[in-house]
Amino acid sequence: MPQQQTLPDVDIDSPYPLSREQVERFRRDGFIKLKSFFSAEALAAYDPAITRNTLEKNSLRDKPMEKRSTYDKAFIQVSNIWETDETVKRFAFGKRAARAAAELLGVESVRMWHDQALYKEASGGFTPWHADQQYWPFDSEKCVTIWIPLQAVPIEMGPLSFARGSHLKKIGRDLVISDESEKLIADGVKREGLDEVYEPFELGEVSYHYGWTLHRAGPNSTPQARKVFTVIYMDAHMRLQPRTPVHRSDWERWTPGTHVGRVMDDPRNPVLYP
């Protein structure tokens, strides 16, 4: 159970005004970046709890960078922090982000798949091209990830880049994140003539991307860690449909109480909006 804590008194619930044009652009491009989504005060208030949990649960802390795999060089990865920390739970359950996810997906309500901290250490390597939904046992494409940098992310720090419109293609959907996925998906993106959008993130700016949107990130050449928190949302009516061994692993980890073909109404998948 999350530890009892005094929660930050900052706004993370009021609606973010999404225009019809932004929603249409998201569905066309497969991603969208939204400026001034969170205030600097809100990020500063929640950063300490997210960072403390990420560093405490870092399984790579004693492994030198040069001895890590490409995947492990890319980031420290810690998931479902909301289950053990009340402050992180408050941020992960924020209504502003969940409501925007529902509006972008065009669904009435969304539930959590899981949260995830992705900290790219100083001198951390690149994140290979991949599509997140390759891992997930979902019966539809109505899922989206919010990527929340806890600081501004210049190009040198390794922001996300996206292949515009790649969610409408079927490039590398059977590839786990790896050196192979980096090469083969890059070849596919070039072959299909897709634009790669690689831009810095301002403080308070976030992005949303579909589960099948291809994305990657460059290395972090700065002396500071690139601190990012993510939440993955899915249509509240999403059903469990595992097809691969990877899907079975995620089924057992993230929605263990759900039966095949049933809505993923597990305690680990609470409805976050409305």
Can you list the domains of the chain with their CATH numbers? 20-254 (2.60.120.620)
In this prediction, residue 5 carries a pLDDT of 76
Tell how far CA 274 is from the center of its chain: 20
Beta-bridged to residue 84, according to DSSP, are: none
3-state helix, strand, coil in the chain (%, to 5): 30, 25, 45
pTM for the full model?
Answer: 0.95
The pairing of beta strand 143-149 with beta strand 206-210: antiparallel
pLDDT greater than 70 at residue 85 = yes
* Each residue's pLDDT tens digit, 157-202: 999 999 999 999 999 999 999 999 999 999 999 999 999 999 999 9
* Each residue's pLDDT tens digit, 1-40: 665 678 999 999 999 999 999 999 999 999 999 999 999 9
Neighbours of 12 (CB within 10 A): 20
| Amino acid making up residue 220 | N
In this prediction, residue 2 carries a pLDDT of 61
Quick one: tokens of 194? 């897709």
